[in-house]
Structure 1
Amino acid sequence: MSQVRFHTDLHMHSKYSRACSKNSDLEHLTLWARRKGVTVMGTGDFTHPAWFGRLREALVPAEPGLFRLRAELDEDIARELPPSVAAAPVRFMLSVEVSTVYRRAGRTRKIHHLVYLPDFDAAEAFNRRLAQVGDLSSDGRPILGLDSRDLLQITLNCGDGAYLVPAHVWTPWFGVFGSKSGFDTIEECYGELADHIFALETGLSSDPEMNWRVSGLDGYRMVSYSDAHSPPRIGRETTVFDVDLDYFAILRALRTGAGHEGTVEFFPEEGRYHLDGHRKCGIRMTPEETRRRDGICPVCGKPLTVGVLSRVEELADRKKGVRPDGAAGFRSLVPLPEIVGEVLGVGPTSKKVLAEVDELVAALGPELAILEDVPVDDIAIRSLPLAEAIRRLRRGEVVRDPGYDGEYGVIRLFEPGEAIPADTAVTPPLF
C-alpha cells in the first residue's frame, strides 16, 4: 500500500487483562477501529498465553510487520457496519504493556512500558524470556519484578524492529516521570540503554505542549494512544503518520520524525490525574495550592496524590507556550459520544447516544473524521446543536473541569445553564 495519512492506536488491552471488557477481542477491536477511523491497532497483551494463541490463529500477515484478521472473520464484521466504514483497512501490530516493579536507589519503582515486535517468532522469544521472570498467565498486562533497563535489554535482544516506549510517562503511580515512583530523566531509568528510547507516550492527563516545557524531552517523538480497556474507548487518543502502511515505516517515523504527523489528544484536564488532590476527601488542588499546603490534604492530613501538571512544573525549565524546533503538532478532541451525550442531555454510553452516533457514522463517515474534517455545514444538515458543538471543539472553545486522583475530568462544549441552540434544519434532524 502506498504512503497514506492514517491514525494509529497502539496501546490497548484484551479481555485477558484485569478490569477489561469481555468484548475486548479481535473482532470487536476491528469493528470499533473502523467506526472510529483507526487504521493500525496494537494487539495488546501478546504475552498472555491464551491471547497469544488467539492472535496466531486469527491474524494473517499483511504489510511488513503488520497483520489483519482472516478474511472470513473480517467479512462477518464488515456486514455489521454501514458502507461508509465497512471497507476501511484495519491492521494489527503485536504489542504489550509490561508493568515492572523493583527497587532502585532506595525507592520502589513501578513503571509501565509498551513493547512492540514485528513478528510472532520475536514475540515468542520475548515471552519465553519473560516467563522466566514471572507468571504471564495471571494478567494480560504482566506485572514483573524486573528492572526497566533489563526489560529494554530483553526487548532489544529480540532483533531488528523491536522497540520500547515508556507508557503514560507522567502518571503518578506507573509513569517513568510519575510523582509516586518515577525518575527525573529517561537516563536515570534506562541507564546506558537510554539512547534506544526515542518516543514517549503522553498519557491522557498530559499533552505535547505540557511536555514541551521540559527541554530534556525535545529529542523524543510524542505519541498518544487510548489505553482502551473496552472497544468503544478505541481512538480517544491516536498518533497520526503519513508513511507507508508498514511496521518498519512507522518505526522509522518515530526514530527520525519524518512522517510522524502528530497526535490526537484528550484535553489533558479530562485525564484522571491532571490536578492534585484526594478523591475520597473531595479535595482538588492546583499546583500552587498544593505547594502552599506542603502537599498535605486539609481534610485527612495525609499526602495528596500529586498529579501530572504539578510534576511537569517540577521538572519544567521552560515557560508554557514554547514549541521546540521540529516538534510535531497535536489536536485536542472530545470523543463524539461525549459530545452527542451533552447535546442530548444523557450519558455518553446510553443507548440513545449509541443509536445517534450509529446514524452519524452511516451518514458522514468515521467518528474521528466527523470530529476533525467533515465540514460543519454538512454536520448542520444533520443537527444544528451538534454542528455548533463541533465548531467550538475545533476552535478549542471548551469548558474544562479537571480530573484528579483517579477521577476523570469533564470537558463540555456549552456553559452550565447555557441554552443549547435549537434545531431548525429543514432536513429531518437526528436530534
Structure 2
Amino acid sequence: MDLHVHIGRSNNGAPVKITASRELTFANIARECKYRKGIDIVGIVDCASPEVIDDISQLINNGEMKPLKEGGLIYQDKVTIILGSEIETKEKDGGSSHQIAYFPYFEDIKEFSKALSLLVTNVSLSSQNCKISAQEAFQIINQLGGILIPAHAFTPHKSVYGNCVKRLGEMFSRSTLKKIPAIELGLSADTEIADRLKELAKFTFLTNSDAHSLPKIGREYNIIELEKANFKEMLLALQRKEGRKITDNYGLDPKLGKYHRTFCEICNYTSDSNPPVYKCEKCGSDKIVKGVFDRIVEIGDYQQSFSPPHRPPYHHQIPLEFVPGIGKKTLNKLFDYFGTEMNILHKASYQEISQVAGFKIAQDIILARKGLLKLSPGGGGRYGKVKPKEKIYKEEDLQLIF
C-alpha cells in the first residue's frame, strides 16, 4: 500500500500538480501499480480536482473502475484506489502544513471538492492553501465522512512538526487527535528517528512515496494485513483494530531524502556533524534549511529511539532509480523479466539479476538490499546519493555476501 501519489495532468492535459509529471494521470497510476510496481492499494491525493473527478467518472462509466461497497475503487479487479486530497492549512502564527484527506466513496470526494472550492483560489490544482487551520480542515473532512492524516510530518517546509509546532496538541484538540489514525513520516525520516517523540507512540506510522512521477510510485510503501482491500479495512488497519494492522514499513534510508540534514543556502553544504545544527559548519552562515533529523533531535523527548510494542519493523530500501548505472533501457529489461520493482528489490537472486542487467548492477542491487552501500545524505531539497562499490568482489566473497 502506497497512500500518497500525485496526479500531474488530467486525461485531457489540464494541469493538476504543477511540479508532477504529465504522465501521472489517474489511469496511468492505476496501470503502473498493477503492471510494474506490484502495489495493491494506492492512495491518489488529487481527487478533489474537478478535472480528475471527470476522469474518474469516465473510468467508472467504461467499466475499467468499479466502486467498492466498503469504500474505495477497484481497477481491473486488481488495484484498490483510495480517493484522497492533499491540502495546505495555515496556523495563526503563520506556520503552514500539508494534510491529506481520504474519503471512502466517490460521492464524498465530490462533496469535498465543492467545500474546497469555497476556500482555495483554484480547486483544480493540488495542495492549494485553504487559508484555514488544520483543526478547521479536520472538522470539514470529518463531517463529510473522511479522515485526516498529516503529510510528511517533519519536512522543513509545509509540515506539522517542521513548519508549525513542537507538539500536535498545539494544532489539534484532544478529541481530534483521537480521530487521526496515522502520521506520514516522509522520505527523510524513519521509525527509529520519529520514535524519539513520546506523543507519536499512539499513532500508526505510514511510509508513502509522495510520488511526482510514475517511477517514484512505491519508493516507500506499507505491508498491510486485512480481510479485503477496501477503505473500511484500510482504516481498521491504521487504527490497529480487529486484527487488522500494518505489519511492515518499507522506505528510503532517510539519508536519501531531500531534507534529511541541515543545508546551507550560502555555500550549498550539507551538514555531517551531530544534530541539531543551527549554523553552517563550513562557512558559519545561519541561512540554513534545517534538516528533518536535526529537527527531530531538537524537539525530541528521547536521545535514543523508543518504539511502542505495536510498531512494525522498518525496512530500508534503495529504489532502482537510485542505483548507479540503471538507465531506462536496463530498467525496462529488468521489468520485462521480473515483472515488478518489488520482485527485483526484494526477491530476485544475484544470479538472476546478473543474467539480465550484468554483474556490476546485480552486485549493487544486492548490496543495497543488505544495506552495504555507502550513502551521502540529502538536504535543502536535494536527494541523497548512493555511492557504488568500486570493488568488484571475488567469487568466494560473493558467496559470503549473497
In structure 2, distance between residues paired with 1:9 and 1:195: 21
- The offset of 1:138, in angstroms, is 5.2
Alpha-carbon distance change, 290 to 121 in structure 1, aligned in 2, over 3 angstroms: closer
Percent identity, aligned pairs only? Answer: 22
Contact 1:125-1:158 at 8 Å conserved across structures: yes
In structure 2, distance between residues paired with 1:319 and 1:410: 27
Q: Output the amino acid matched with 2:74.
A: R
- The offset of 1:419, in angstroms, is 3.6
Contact 1:223-1:262 at 8 Å conserved across structures: no
Contact 2:275-2:297 at 8 Å conserved across structures: no
- 1:114-193 to 2 correspondences below 5 Å: 114-137=100-123, 139-159=125-145, 162-178=146-162, 181-192=163-174, 193=176
Match status 1:324 vs 2:330: no
Equivalent position of 1:385 in the other structure: 360
- The offset of 1:50, in angstroms, is 1.2
2:87 aligns to what SS in structure 1?
Answer: strand
Contact 2:3-2:44 at 8 Å conserved across structures: no
Q: 1:93 aligns with which of 62, 82, 95?
A: 82
Alpha-carbon distance change, 289 to 100 in structure 1, aligned in 2, over 3 angstroms: closer
2:154 aligns to what SS in structure 1?
Answer: coil
In structure 1, distance between residues paired with 2:276 and 2:239: 37
Q: Deviations over 1:153-185 (max 9, x none)?
A: 1111012xx21110000001111100xx22111
Equivalent position of 2:201 in the other structure: 218
1:10 aligns to what SS in structure 2?
Answer: strand
- The offset of 1:222, in angstroms, is 0.5
Contact 2:8-2:24 at 8 Å conserved across structures: yes
Equivalent position of 2:13 in the other structure: none
Q: Output the amino acid matched with 1:379.
A: I
Equivalent position of 1:68 in the other structure: 74
In structure 1, distance between residues paired with 2:21 and 2:275: 38
Alpha-carbon distance change, 280 to 92 in structure 1, aligned in 2, over 3 angstroms: farther
Q: Deviations over 1:312-337 (max 9, x none)?
A: 10122224354321211121111113
Equivalent position of 2:28 in the other structure: 28
Match status 1:304 vs 2:288: yes
In structure 2, distance between residues paired with 1:321 and 1:93: 32
In structure 2, distance between residues paired with 1:198 and 1:378: 41
In structure 2, distance between residues paired with 1:287 and 1:187: 31
Q: Deviations over 1:205-249 (max 9, x none)?
A: 001111122221111111011111121211111122121212111
Q: 1:196 aligns with which of 154, 170, 179?
A: 179
- Which sections of structure 2, spanning at least 5 residues, go unmatched? 10-15, 396-402
In structure 2, distance between residues paired with 1:266 and 1:169: 15
Alpha-carbon distance change, 297 to 130 in structure 1, aligned in 2, over 3 angstroms: farther
Alpha-carbon distance change, 9 to 384 in structure 1, aligned in 2, over 3 angstroms: farther
Equivalent position of 2:19 in the other structure: 19
Equivalent position of 2:54 in the other structure: 53
1:284 aligns to what SS in structure 2?
Answer: coil
Match status 1:363 vs 2:311: no
In structure 1, distance between residues paired with 2:122 and 2:104: 20
In structure 1, distance between residues paired with 2:109 and 2:319: 33
Q: 2:382 aligns with which of 407, 410, 413?
A: 407
Match status 1:253 vs 2:237: yes
- Larger deviation, residues 403-412 vs 378-387: 378-387
Q: Output the amino acid matched with 1:101.
A: K
In structure 1, distance between residues paired with 2:265 and 2:252: 21
Q: Output the amino acid matched with 2:99.
A: H
- Larger deviation, residues 324-333 vs 279-288: 279-288
Equivalent position of 2:400 in the other structure: none
2:172 aligns to what SS in structure 1?
Answer: helix
- The offset of 1:136, in angstroms, is 3.6
Question: How many residues are treated as equivalent by the alignment?
Answer: 378
In structure 1, distance between residues paired with 2:190 and 2:5: 16
- The offset of 1:421, in angstroms, is 5.4
Greater relative contact order, per chain length (Cα 8 Å cut-off, separation 6+): 1
1:356 aligns to what SS in structure 2?
Answer: helix
Contact 1:337-1:354 at 8 Å conserved across structures: no
Q: Output the amino acid matched with 1:141.
A: S
Q: Deviations over 1:110-143 (max 9, x none)?
A: 0100110011211122122222222343522222
In structure 2, distance between residues paired with 1:176 and 1:286: 25
Contact 1:213-1:318 at 8 Å conserved across structures: yes
**Normalised by the size of structure 1, how large is the TM-score?**
0.81
- The offset of 1:18, in angstroms, is 1.5
- Which sections of structure 1, spanning at least 5 residues, go unmatched? 1-6, 72-87, 424-431
- The offset of 1:90, in angstroms, is 2.0
